Chains A and B, each alone.
Chain A
Amino acid sequence: MTVNARMRVHSAALNAGVVKPWLRWSSVPSPRPCARTMLLCAAALVLSACGRPPQQNSAEHAGPQGKLAITGSSTVAPLVAEIGKRFESQHPGVRIDVQTGGSSRGVADARSGLADIGMVSRALRPDEADLHGVAIARDGIAVILHATNPVTALSDAQVAAIYTGRITHWRELGGSDAPITVVNKAEGRSTLELFLHYFKLASPAVKAHVVIGDNEQGIKTVAGNPDAIGYVSVGAAEYSATQRVPIKLLPMNGVEASIAAVKDGSFPLSRPLTLITRTEPAGLAKAFIDYARSPAVHDLVGRLYFVPLEP
């Protein structure tokens, strides 16, 4: 049964007075609002439990209907949730529930079958070859500085030297008379891995002053500190810079950091946002993944400041 049908059963039961007389009977002298709410909740619970669709029907139906559970990376989740809403509106029998919890959860849930589809904000690793991954968008990683910082470009070697603590003062780079505040990402994050890989650094060699989690935290940290250097998602940084947040994006190895550069493939540092399944996707999961890769959702990808895949 679909959600709409379930809602109908629920509200029909309430309207037809199936529930209400019982409520009246149960609170004879003075109908207390809290008791009624609790009973209503209980009734709703019972009704919905009766109307719960069997979990495994999603893969077997020929047409796109049923329910998809998708879990994983919080970076990818808003995008997939938006795509899911549009997919639902085009296929009224379908329900797509998107949950976050991180890339590791996406991998674990897809593997155990707890989720139909997992989301990870990176490419699959060699030890994840048992899973089936499909990229739906890309995301570049750019080095950012505070907008007032006079430094306008850094070579790859200079960035590496800053992050390993060999350069600790902006004066050494022709900048202002202030020590550098190095903003790094937390251990395990895919942006960190990509960054380290590109600059050929080992994680223990990095000398950071601030360690952050999400992109927005990185942007706010650099925006609040004129002497900071950090690296975040290109799209998020480009958007923030246009919204008068005081940060600027540095070119990477001479290539300007922008969504356009990531899109045409000239920007060297980018990661795929990937949907993963335990087996070759089939049925509803396949329909959804194909839809998520199609040009029909490129506007959604762009609105969340990611880079659509070339058709």
Chain B
Amino acid sequence: MFRWNPDRLLALGLRLCAAGAGVIVLLIAGFLVSESWPALRAIGVTRFASDASWHPAADATRGTFNLLPMVWGTLLATTGAVLLATPLGVLSAVFSHHYAAPRIAHVYRRIIELLAGIPSVVYGFWGLVVLVPLIRTLQPPGPSLLAGVLILALMILPTIALMADAAIGGVPAAQRRAAAALGLSRWRTVTSVVLPAARSGLATGVVLGTGRAIGETMAVLMVCGNVVQTPSSVFDPIRTLAANIALEMAYALDDHRSALFVSGLVLLAMIALLIGLAERLRRQAGAHAPV
């Protein structure tokens, strides 16, 4: 017999919550598709990859709409930032759990929490006024892929560090004690017991950090130079897809506006692809891992 006991109610409520979260994603995807539909119809999918350049302000026939350089820019900036922030973030978490005195670890955690809440415009402002002139002394013009990578790394560091911190904190103390009892050094304990046990949390942190980096707008807009080109060195200016939207949306009309939504759609597809890839890697790794 069907009975409304609390457990069943709870399960239903929770299922609704999860479905609600899923619905939001569908709504956003639907919104993007409907807004970019006019451009996809008037311009066609292929021209977003084959046109000579990105000069969309004219109408659909005279404008050019190549998004590929921005796809590369986005990928390079995000990859660089994640490669830089992941080791720093994980080492940060290791520091506060296994190396620092409790009091210092506490303060250190507060510092990272604060970094998580500094507005992107402040990061961008700082990057524009401090970092970009510094990079310019190395190699003009200054606003560059490198500046973007550094700022993005700084911005996603707290996400990765805090998630890693919680994951490492969740590793049962018994495991660590066992490792210590076996005479493993602190570093060996961390690398071969703690980090593998925490890898699900670490991976989530990296995925969330990647999401933040790939979708970041304001800070990147201020330090990357925003020239639409495929970079040949880290000192070349680049434009990311997200910055493209923020930079041009304010003045875009008709097909131009719709083409900017196509940038958003491409970005969404890229994220989905990256996540699929990460999932595959994780599964392959999972098949070989002993745990």
A-side residues, CB < 8 A to B, are 73-74, 101-105, 107-108, 178-179, 181, 186-190, 203-204, 208-213, 217, 220-221, 224-225, 227-228
Contact = CB atoms under 8 A, between A and B. Distances in A.
Contact of A217 (B53, B133, B136, B222): B222
26 contacts: A102-B249, A102-B250, A104-B252, A104-B253, A105-B250, A179-B140, A181-B142, A187-B57, A204-B55, A204-B64, A209-B143, A209-B227, A209-B237, A210-B141, A210-B227, A210-B237, A211-B227, A211-B237, A213-B221, A213-B226, A213-B247, A221-B128, A224-B133, A224-B142, A225-B140, A228-B141
Interface of B: 52-57, 64, 128-129, 132-133, 136, 140-143, 221-222, 225-228, 237, 239, 246-253, 256-257
Nearest to B239: A211
Contacts of A187: 54-57, 248, 256
A221 B143 contact: yes
A73 B226 CA distance: 21
A178 B227 CA distance: 20
A107 B247 CA distance: 18
A210 B226 contact: yes
A224 B248 contact: no
Given A187-B57, A204-B64, A225 B141 contact: yes
A220 B129 contact: yes
A107 B253 CA distance: 9
B128 A225 contact: no
Contacts of B246: 213
7 nearest CB pairs, A to B: A102-B250, A188-B251, A211-B226, A181-B141, A224-B133, A209-B141, A186-B247
Contact of A211 (B129, B133, B247, B257): B247
B252 A188 contact: yes
Given A217-B222, A225-B133, A181 B140 contact: yes
B257 A104 contact: yes
Contacts of A186: 226, 247-248, 251
Given A204-B52, A221-B143, 11 more contacts: A104-B249, A104-B251, A104-B252, A208-B227, A209-B141, A210-B225, A211-B226, A213-B247, A220-B129, A221-B128, A225-B133
A169 B135 CA distance: 20
Given A203-B55, A224-B129, A101 B141 contact: no
Nearest to A211: B226
Contacts of A227: 140-141
A161 to B, nearest CB: 18
Contacts of A208: 227
A81 to B, nearest CB: 17
A149 to B, nearest CB: 14
